[in-house]
A and B are shown apart, each in its own frame.
Chain A
Amino acid sequence: MTGGLQRVASTVLLVVVSFMLTALILWVSGYRVGTVLSGIIQGSITATGAATSTIRWTIPLLLIGLGVVIGFRAGFFNIGGQGQFYVGACSALVVSLGWREGPVPLVIMCGMIAAILAGMAWSLLPGYLRVQFGTDEVLTTLMMSFIGALVLQYLTAGPLRNPSGTGQTAASERIPEAFRITDSSGVSVTALLLVGGVAVLVWLLLERTRFGLTMTLVGRNPTMARWQGIDVRRVGLGTFALSGALSGLAGAVELHGPGARLVTGFSPEVGFTAVVVALVGMLSVWGTVVAAVFFGGLQSAILFLPIVTDLPPPALVLLHGMVAFLVTIKFRAVRRRRAGLAAKPVVG
């Protein structure tokens, strides 16, 4: 178990180093590092409503991040969470606006199912291309992400635009208040139970089902899996579907929760930050939960910081980037080492 402890320690160290590098850059640029740090702590924990805001941002990061973990387990790098999240939210909105008189629980349920299906579809297309033609899923999921963002833009500026809207950005009509599972703080018992339940289910799926074990084998050595009679294509498609489903669900939770309407380009980074969340969480379910809370706090702090310093919001995005950069290097290094081992010639 010391190996596991070592991995946790190295990940924590990596986050600390990112903090220090960011602090260094801020210090060189003439900001007061102490103020910024205390701002981060206030904005994520101690200020009024900060803790709530942290949890509010944890929810989508966790859902999408778990989707990334599922993909990775079977060896697929689904980084298109952003687009799957958007099309999920759009589908839920269509359900809610199209069935205003429906019974509340049923409409919410249908909205979530629609969002899950849309997220699945958005992920299955690259997934199919991957298992059928070997197309690099990093590229295709990313491209699908842009398409998802444009779909959102089209809907909010076009067919679903709120005609009485006055804002500068295009937005849809609000869904009826009854269809929301949280108020605008984005946190409620229902939402927490939902997300917690999903995390437990994902953990059970990955660690306690035959399908989860099959995914692990496929992700670690698809050749061996094929010799063992495992249908690698089917496992791949299932993985992409589940992974997209979680991002789609995140979109529905956002809409039925804090959002209540769709705005062009809302939460623009959540799908990409979720990839970093999964990597920092060492691709384990509970690690991802911890990492999601951490990045949720950071997101909350980014929104809070302008109140206490003159720091522009992108300055903390720098921290995100730093963590993402270092965690990717670590991840690649581990993979390289593993690949190197596998490539060692066998005499005889």
Chain B
Amino acid sequence: MTVPSGPASAEVPAVRCRSLGVSFGTVQALHDISLDLAAGRIHALVGQNGAGKTTLAKALGGLQAPDNGTVCIAGNQIPPGDVRAAKSAGLAMVHQHFSLPPSFTVAEALELTAARPESHSVYRRTELYRRWQNEVAEVGGTNVLATRIRDLPVETRQSLEIVRALVSEARILLLDEPTALLTPAATDTLFERLRGLRDDGVTILIVLHKLREVAAVADTVSVLRDGKLVLGPSEISGVSQGQLSDAIVGPAPDADRAIAVEAAANAEQQLLLELVRVSSRESAFEPGLASIDLAVEAREIVGIAGVEGNGQRSLVSVIAGLSAVTEGSVLLGGEEMTSAPPARRRLRGLRLVPFDRNSEGISRSAPLWLNQSALRLIGRRRQFPLISLRQYKRQASEAMDLWQVRYNTVAQPAESLSGGNVQRLVLSRELASGLEVLVAAQPTRGLDFSATNFVRSSLRGLRDAGAGVLLVSSDLDELFELSDRLLVMYGGSIVARFNAPYDRQAVGDAMTGALR
């Protein structure tokens, strides 16, 4: 390892990039990013989902080869996409998801990832433990060494990831959303640790979602939006929370965009979906629900805003009946459904547009007609068992024609459709007869302009026809445009409720947890 013996790091930035650009296909993930990160400080990087934070971290760490631009680590230019060069220049990444092998003990995992393992390749257990006892002293004592990674609590695993980065003798740490899975207390401990490292001279770049956390730990802050660096790096003391929220969310594209659709003038409103103090268990990547109260009535679209990973998936799967409720009750059309299987909810008029249309919404290898007919397969046990495929196929093709799905034959596999057409296929199935309440999760994500408009006008049409819609989205413009009411989720609870006209600033603050 050759570190140039230049002047003290005060002048050479720990990380420097110039006009960095990364694109995936037609999507420009990073656009002309130039950035200097001073050594020995904690730099925060914030932005909405899909703003390019992870991509930037990967490009700096050599995990993602940029299309253009340069990266210098501690004054050494890194060849594009060269992880080893980045590592030997002293940079280490701590990933969003844990990277240590779960079946290894802590000592084994550390030995595996150490920068210079001892020359011989046969070890005695006690020898391993002796070697690593100092490193783990601060994350849970020496008795943690013999524990398997998978048996450790989340925050210990998180700390170990940092230990792993440090035993490879890193002087620059990139942390990609390290707090996403941590409790507030564990987050405080992590921040304590990071401050200690900074005081020892380590440079830290930390990707964060929550402004509160930025204020708590960072020395400087930078904001990415749509792949562009829109703010910073600025001293944290010189930026207000309001400025940050604005930079993250961006200006409203049109002045009149935030005007809500006029409320439906139906006096006799009917409760279609109701959640009463519903709680659920946390999943691997998301907090569970914490005492959620929510109601969707006929002729309204209720929007759910929030930074992704704040319980939206838990909410939708609880309503769908795919994950269990630990407390509270779920009602559909006034009928108690808390522990009803998904099929009964479907038969009661619940329709779903799932988050990931390609894995949850369709079966990619199954033919179009079978994908389209899926809902006809449930709850008909008393009917004659034999069916007419011709009739199934005909009805499927009629429905798909109605929804303007472009296809050649009903027998082609669903994976041959484009994204917009897949969503039309999903809608043609879900928005058919029997619908009372629709839960639409990220219904326009990844769709082009015309497909997006099509989906949005379908939702509006549905509402005008008397249905209730729960719209979960991370697109604020979409929520403002469609929602009659807007709820903001944060950490598994609903932290704010808004009525039109919406205040962008207030919603943005609620989303980033600034209200707390």
> B-contacting residues of A (Cβ < 8 Å)?
204, 207-211, 213-214, 216-217, 220-221, 223-231, 338, 341-342, 346-348
Closest Cβ–Cβ distance, residue A248 to chain B (whole Å): 22
Q: 5 pairs across A/B with beta carbons < 8 Å?
A: A223-B360, A226-B322, A228-B374, A229-B343, A341-B364
Summed over the interface, the residue pairs from A and B with CB atoms below 8 Å come to a total of 97
CA distance A47 to B376 in the complex (A): 53
CA distance A184 to B385 in the complex (A): 38
Closest Cβ–Cβ distance, residue B314 to chain A (whole Å): 15
Report yes or no: B345 in contact with A229, Cβ–Cβ below 8 A: yes
Closest Cβ–Cβ distance, residue B24 to chain A (whole Å): 5
CA distance A338 to B413 in the complex (A): 12
Decide if the interface of chain A is mainly helix, strand, loop or mixed.
Answer: helix
Within 8 Å of chain A (Cβ to Cβ): is B25? yes
Chain A residue nearest in CB terms to B316: A227
Residues of chain B within 8 A (CB-CB) of A207 are: 389
Within 8 Å of chain A (Cβ to Cβ): is B50? yes
Residues of chain A within 8 A (CB-CB) of B389 are: 207-208
Report yes or no: A204 in contact with B378, Cβ–Cβ below 8 A: no
The answer, among A216, A227, A342, A348, for a CB contact under 8 Å with B320, is A227
Report yes or no: B362 in contact with A224, Cβ–Cβ below 8 A: yes
Closest Cβ–Cβ distance, residue B369 to chain A (whole Å): 10
Instruction: Give me 10 other A-B pairs in contact (C-beta within 8 A), A224-B361, A230-B342 excluded.
Output: A213-B387, A214-B377, A220-B366, A221-B364, A221-B366, A224-B359, A227-B360, A227-B361, A231-B342, A348-B27
Residues of chain B within 8 A (CB-CB) of A342 are: 358-359, 364
CA distance A211 to B384 in the complex (A): 12
Residues of chain B within 8 A (CB-CB) of A226 are: 322, 342
Chain B residue nearest in CB terms to A232: B342
Closest Cβ–Cβ distance, residue A130 to chain B (whole Å): 19
Chain B residue nearest in CB terms to A209: B385
Closest Cβ–Cβ distance, residue A20 to chain B (whole Å): 32
Q: Which of B363-386 contact A (CB under 8 A)?
A: 363-366, 370, 373-380, 385-386
Contact with A along B346-359 (1 / 0, CB 8 A): 11000010101011
Closest Cβ–Cβ distance, residue B388 to chain A (whole Å): 8
Residues of chain A within 8 A (CB-CB) of B415 are: 341
Report yes or no: A228 in contact with B375, Cβ–Cβ below 8 A: yes
Q: Interface size (B, Cβ < 8 Å)?
A: 42
Report yes or no: A229 in contact with B342, Cβ–Cβ below 8 A: yes
Residues of chain A within 8 A (CB-CB) of B387 are: 208-210, 213
Report yes or no: B341 in contact with A231, Cβ–Cβ below 8 A: yes
Report yes or no: A213 in contact with B343, Cβ–Cβ below 8 A: no
User: Which among A208, A209, A224 has the highest number of chain B CB atoms within 10 Å?
Assistant: A224
Closest Cβ–Cβ distance, residue A201 to chain B (whole Å): 11
Report yes or no: A220 in contact with B320, Cβ–Cβ below 8 A: no
CA distance A145 to B396 in the complex (A): 43
Residues of chain A within 8 A (CB-CB) of B148 are: none
Residues of chain A within 8 A (CB-CB) of B184 are: none
Closest Cβ–Cβ distance, residue B486 to chain A (whole Å): 23
CA distance A338 to B364 in the complex (A): 9
Within 8 Å of chain A (Cβ to Cβ): is B445? yes
Report yes or no: A230 in contact with B343, Cβ–Cβ below 8 A: yes
Report yes or no: A213 in contact with B373, Cβ–Cβ below 8 A: yes
Within 8 Å of chain A (Cβ to Cβ): is B153? no
Chain A residue nearest in CB terms to B345: A229
Closest Cβ–Cβ distance, residue A228 to chain B (whole Å): 4
Q: A208-B387, A342-B364, A347-B25 are in contact. Are A221 and B359 (CB under 8 A)?
A: yes
Residues of chain A within 8 A (CB-CB) of B364 are: 220-221, 341-342
Within 8 Å of chain A (Cβ to Cβ): is B253? no
CA distance A338 to B380 in the complex (A): 32
CA distance A227 to B352 in the complex (A): 8
Report yes or no: B24 in contact with A338, Cβ–Cβ below 8 A: no
The answer, among A211, A230, A346, for a CB contact under 8 Å with B385, is A211
CA distance A105 to B362 in the complex (A): 48
Residues of chain A within 8 A (CB-CB) of B341 are: 229, 231
User: Which among B322, B376, B377, B387 has the highest number of chain A CB atoms within 10 Å?
Assistant: B377
Report yes or no: B322 in contact with A228, Cβ–Cβ below 8 A: no
Can you list the 8 inter-chain pairs with the closest CB atoms, starting with the nearest?
A348-B446, A221-B363, A229-B346, A229-B343, A229-B342, A228-B374, A220-B363, A229-B378
Closest Cβ–Cβ distance, residue A155 to chain B (whole Å): 37
User: Which among A208, A210, A217 has the highest number of chain B CB atoms within 10 Å?
Assistant: A210
